[in-house]
Amino acid sequence: MPWILLSVLVFIWGVPQVKKQLDVLSSPKFEIPRLHNTTVRTFPVVAQPTPDKPTKPEAAEFKLNWLSATGTGILAAAILAGLYMGFSLAELARVYRRTLWLVRFSLITIAAMLALGYVTKYSGTDATLGLALAKTGALYPFFGTLLGWLGVALTGSDTASNVLFGSLQKITAEQTGISPVLMCAANSSGGVMGKMVDAQSIVVASTATNWYGHEGSILRYVFFHSIALAALVGILVYLQAYVAPFTGMVVK
């Protein structure tokens, strides 16, 4: 029942019309002082500006779409599943309080890495790295996929990796003449293969199973598998970038 509720509610939360309606109900947006509309990307990071298409400053707004966020749907599924299995609201609150305490450092790490992703964007670091990676030329699809793997291995989150390297992937893809859609997708696909080696997931797993002190053993066991799978995804992305009929799989 928990998995059925989770599947149904995540599906509902993923429908664009539902997200839009939930954002209408509550989705406050805040402009970041002294940063909003103060950063400008210029050529060669973006296309050469023209009189009819001038370069616009970067918006720096924090959108608190807490109601339409997928995590809210997951929380609703967990509460409904708990009630269905006979737990009271007080018992659920105690479990959540204990769980939040166990993963408190992981939550702080996720928030910090997401923040770092925005720092790299507005400081221009992602643009600098993107231009450097463009020098790999035809091999960029392979290395770009491994960059996604590295992002998740460092941050512990595919979302954080996309925030950290998503703009970089787009910039580099445009510089090398490769589909930005393909490379942004490769960042996520390669990132999934790094999930098994990130410290955060290993710590959470050892905590949940009461197998403290064996994190190093877990990492050594899964590291080769993670690298091998990421390399295979990199090869697939390379084929999708250059070799027919794989190129037909890329969304235009």
Element (H, E) at 31: strand 29-31
How confident is residue 175, by pLDDT bands cut at 50, 70 and 90? confident
CA 109 to chain centre: 14
Prediction pTM value? 0.66
Domain spans of the chain? Answer: 104-252
Mean pLDDT of the chain: 86
pLDDT given for residue 47 in this prediction: 67
Q: What is the mean pLDDT of residues 83-109?
A: 87
Per-residue pLDDT of 124-134, as tens digits, reads 887 787 778 77
Element (H, E) at 63: strand 61-63
Query: Within 10 A of 15 (CB to CB), how many other CB atoms are there?
Result: 10
The residue assigned the tokens 């793997």 is 149
Q: What is the mean pLDDT of residues 130-152?
A: 86
Question: In this predicted model, which residue has the larger pLDDT, 84 or 202?
Answer: 84
pLDDT given for residue 196 in this prediction: 87
Buried b (16+ CB within 10 A) or exposed e, 44-56: ebeeeeeeeeeee
